[in-house]
Chains A and B, each alone.
Chain A
Amino acid sequence: MAENDVVVIAERVVGSHPDVTFELLGKAKEIASALGGEVHCLVVGSPEGHECLGAADHLHLVEGEHLWPYNPHAWESAISALLSQLKPRLVLASTGTVGIDLCGALAAQSGSMLASYVVDLSVEGASLMAVAQLYGGKLMAECDLGEGPAFVTAIPGSFAGHAARVDGVADATSHSHDGADARMRHVALTEPEKTGVDITSEELLVSVGRGIGSQSNIDLAQELAEVLGAGLSASRPVIDQGWLPKAHQVGKSGKKVKPKIYLALGISGAPEHLEGMRQAELIIACNTDATAPIFEVAHYGTTADLFDLVPEILDLIGG
């Protein structure tokens, strides 16, 4: 029954399939079984490397002239065309690239409901109920997506993904989409420069946020990182101010890091930042604002002033 099917849009635009696709597949299976439907996975453009998507009941590979590298306009028309054939109950994507770029338009075109920033999703009766993170993570909204077709874009890391990483695709279909509409064409895809800085390989990261206050105070964090033999990373505001190069950025538009210890100094914990570091084994957060969202993901926290704390740590181990 197609009207109870769940479609997952694979997020892959470079490299291999990201974790979030498996998280979405896992959730899709749960929802599909509750609805009595099947899971379809849509892969657009990328030609190979899809054996790991075995969790889906059906794999749809869409190929065409403007689809690879990623082209939002061509992707939208390709996905739209396929969805109009599949007529699923639910389309799942992430709040990453594809979700934020395309899902609003796809939902509007098909007259479907859409919920963004979703961290939880369930079937209640005939309705789909989603819980979304709003107001910079300060409030959660539970919403009723109704009984009709719906789109959900989920925040990466919200669902478990390991179980959905299954090799061996059962049913793969190739589609070709002729993106004749060339109102948008590819110019360049730029991967981050290799600067010799690789914060993803550090065991211990000292990470600084807006609370560091000024460029000059970066030196203090730098000193701490050096003494601890740690890497130095930062949240977006610090990078935007130009206080540290882009290669040091943790978060949605920076790097995803999984160190053994993540020491967050003066980071309030915007959702975009949490996305990049919540998988660290141990998170220690220092922020003078006791209500900062970083304390929601941190294992240990302190409201001591970082300018008092860091010199103390340096005294303990540096001297």
Chain B
Amino acid sequence: MKIVVAMRQIADLVEELEVDASGADIDREFVKFVSNEWDEAALEEALCLKEAHGGEVVVVGVDDVDFDQTLFGALAKGADRAVKLSCGFEGWMPTAVRAELLARWLKDESFDLVLTGVQAADDLDGQLAGVLGARLGLPHAAVVVGLEPDGDGFKVTQELGGGVTLTSHATGPLVLGIQAARQAPRYVPISRIRQAMSAGGIEELEVEAPTARAPKVTRLFAPEAKGRAEMLGDKPSEVAARIVELIRAKGISVS
């Protein structure tokens, strides 16, 4: 079984994001970029599948800021290959563009599964799994929380919201947007990442500039604080008294 995991970097939401001079993108200069957490779940699922059923895990992605870190991390965790597609793209990359670059590379690869994170914090023009599935002409599914080989294909379990889950049988190759792996993404010790770094092993490919279109962002702004909560202060005893008052005012009896 050969599993391709499409990974990417995303601005660390721990950081305070600021809007750049153009007013239409985040200020990328001082922001830290980290691996997309759902992609990490996709990688974990791929590694678990490989450990349970054998096969190969190939991590691929476009050359985002600090993407090497993520690739080395993936290699340290047990991925067999790491591929970086470079085309000199800068700034916000729409999903359509990402999908185009990945699809071009995937066209020449054989694989059984393409796994990627169900979403990313800036995928304004759609979630990668679906867009990539369409580009490759393959069946796809999103919000996947369960995946097992099953006869000639895979048993795929998706969350449909409200706690409803749907299990389907699909014959591959498939493109899946992973919501959660069977276990939390594993920890990879820094020493292993460093070993992977000193071993090298990232395949870097120059690719042609993309042509896909995407909606044009005209303005990026912080949400208005219109519905902002009335703050009750931070002195616990006073806040507690107000909360009890509010509960009683709603006609809920508490002793």
Contact = CB atoms under 8 A, between A and B. Distances in A.
Nearest to B247: A261
Contacts of A282: 246, 250
Contact of B164 (A143, A192, A311): A192
Contact of A304 (B122, B131, B220, B235): B235
Given A187-B168, A299-B229, A309 B240 contact: yes
B221 A140 contact: yes
Interface residues of A, number: 98
A139 B220 contact: yes
Interface in B188-221: 213-221
Nearest to A80: B134
A289 B184 CA distance: 25
Nearest to A115: B215
B125 interface: yes
Interface string B121-148: 1111111111101110001111100000
Interface residues of B, number: 86
A189 B240 contact: no
A261 B248 CA distance: 10
B142 to A, nearest CB: 5
Interface string A276-319: 00000111111000000001111111111100110111011110
B113 to A, nearest CB: 14
A221 interface: no
Contact of A115 (B125, B141, B177): B125
A185 B253 CA distance: 51
B239 A302 contact: yes
Nearest to B154: A184
Contacts of B230: 299-301
Contacts of B239: 286, 302, 304, 309, 312
B180 to A, nearest CB: 7
26 contacts: A72-B139, A72-B141, A97-B158, A100-B142, A114-B125, A114-B126, A135-B122, A141-B217, A142-B219, A144-B215, A183-B171, A185-B168, A190-B164, A190-B167, A253-B179, A284-B243, A285-B229, A295-B229, A296-B225, A297-B227, A300-B229, A301-B229, A301-B230, A302-B233, A308-B236, A312-B236
Interface of B: 11, 13, 17, 19, 26, 95-96, 99, 118-119, 121-131, 133-135, 139-143, 155-156, 158-171, 177, 179-180, 184, 213-223, 225, 227-237, 239-244, 246-247, 250-255
Given A103-B130, A143-B124, 9 more contacts: A113-B125, A185-B168, A189-B164, A189-B167, A229-B254, A253-B162, A260-B250, A260-B252, A296-B225
